[in-house]
Structure 1
Amino acid sequence: MSKPVVGLVGTGVMGKSMGRNLMKEGYPLHIYTRTKSKASDLVDEGTVWEDSVAMLAQQSDIILTIVGYPHDVEGIYFGTEGILANARPDSYVIDMTTSSPSLAERINQEARAKQIHALDAPVSGGDIGARNATLSIMVGADEESTFSHVLPVFEAMGSNIVHQGPAGAGQHTKLCNQIAIAAGMMGVVEAILYAENAGLDPKRVLQSIESGAAGSWSLSNLAPRMIDQDFSPGFYVKHFIKDMTLAIESAEQMKVPVPGLVLAKQLYEELSKNGGDNDGTQALYKYYQLMKEF
Structure 2
Amino acid sequence: MTLTAVIGLGTMGSRIAHSISAGGHEVRGFDPSEGAREKASDSGITVFDTAEEALQGADLAIISVPRPEHVLASARGPLSTARGAVVADMSTIDPGSAQEAAGILAKHDVTYVDAPVLGRPDKIGSWTLPTGGHEPAAALVRSVLEGTVAKRVVRVGDVGAGQAVKVLNNLMFGAINAITAEVLTTCEAAGVDPEVFVDTIADSGAATVSNLFREIAPKMIAQDFEPAFALELLAKDNKLAIDLARSVGTPTHLAEIIDRVNTGAMDQGLADRDTGAVQELYRSQSGASQ
Match of 1:277 among 266, 271, 279: 271
> In the aligned structure 2, how far is the partner of 1:12 from the partner of 1:242?
17
Match of 1:42 among 36, 40, 43: 40
Please, which runs of 5 or more residues in structure 1 have no aligned partner? none
In structure 2, the residue matched to 1:259 is 253
Count of paired positions: 285
In the TM superposition, what is the alpha-carbon distance from 1:198 to its structure 2 partner?
Answer: 5.0
In the TM superposition, what is the alpha-carbon distance from 1:210 to its structure 2 partner?
Answer: 3.1
Please, which runs of 5 or more residues in structure 2 have no aligned partner? none
Is residue 158 from structure 1 mapped to residue 150 from structure 2 by the alignment? yes
Give TM-score scaled by structure 1 length. 0.89
In the TM superposition, what is the alpha-carbon distance from 1:239 to its structure 2 partner?
Answer: 1.8
Is residue 148 from structure 1 mapped to residue 146 from structure 2 by the alignment? no
Is residue 287 from structure 1 mapped to residue 289 from structure 2 by the alignment? no
**What percentage of residue pairs aligned between the two structures are identical?**
25
> In the aligned structure 1, how far is the partner of 2:188 from the partner of 2:25?
47
> In the aligned structure 2, how far is the partner of 1:115 from the partner of 1:218?
41
CA RMSD of aligned residues (A): 2.0
In the TM superposition, what is the alpha-carbon distance from 1:94 to its structure 2 partner?
Answer: 0.9
In structure 2, the residue matched to 1:137 is 129
Is residue 15 from structure 1 mapped to residue 6 from structure 2 by the alignment? no
In the TM superposition, what is the alpha-carbon distance from 1:126 to its structure 2 partner?
Answer: 2.1
> In the aligned structure 1, how far is the partner of 2:122 from the partner of 2:190?
31
> In the aligned structure 1, how far is the partner of 2:224 from the partner of 2:128?
24
For the Cα contact (< 8 Å) 1:14–1:126, is it kept in 2?
Answer: no
Deviations 1:230-272, CA, capped at 9 Å, x for gaps: 2122222222222122211121121111211111111111111
In structure 1, the residue matched to 2:176 is 184
In the TM superposition, what is the alpha-carbon distance from 1:193 to its structure 2 partner?
Answer: 2.5
SS in 2 for 1:230: coil
Q: How has the CA–CA distance of structure 1 residues 94 and 263 changed in structure 2, closer, same or farther, with 3 Å as cutoff?
A: same
> In the aligned structure 2, how far is the partner of 1:160 from the partner of 1:224?
29
SS in 2 for 1:4: coil
In structure 2, the residue matched to 1:118 is 112
Q: How has the CA–CA distance of structure 1 residues 203 and 10 changed in structure 2, closer, same or farther, with 3 Å as cutoff?
A: farther
Match of 1:193 among 152, 172, 185: 185
In the TM superposition, what is the alpha-carbon distance from 1:207 to its structure 2 partner?
Answer: 3.9
1:72 aligned partner, one-letter code: H
SS in 2 for 1:138: strand
Deviations 1:156-177, CA, capped at 9 Å, x for gaps: 1122432100111101111211
In structure 2, the residue matched to 1:104 is 98
Give TM-score scaled by structure 2 length. 0.90
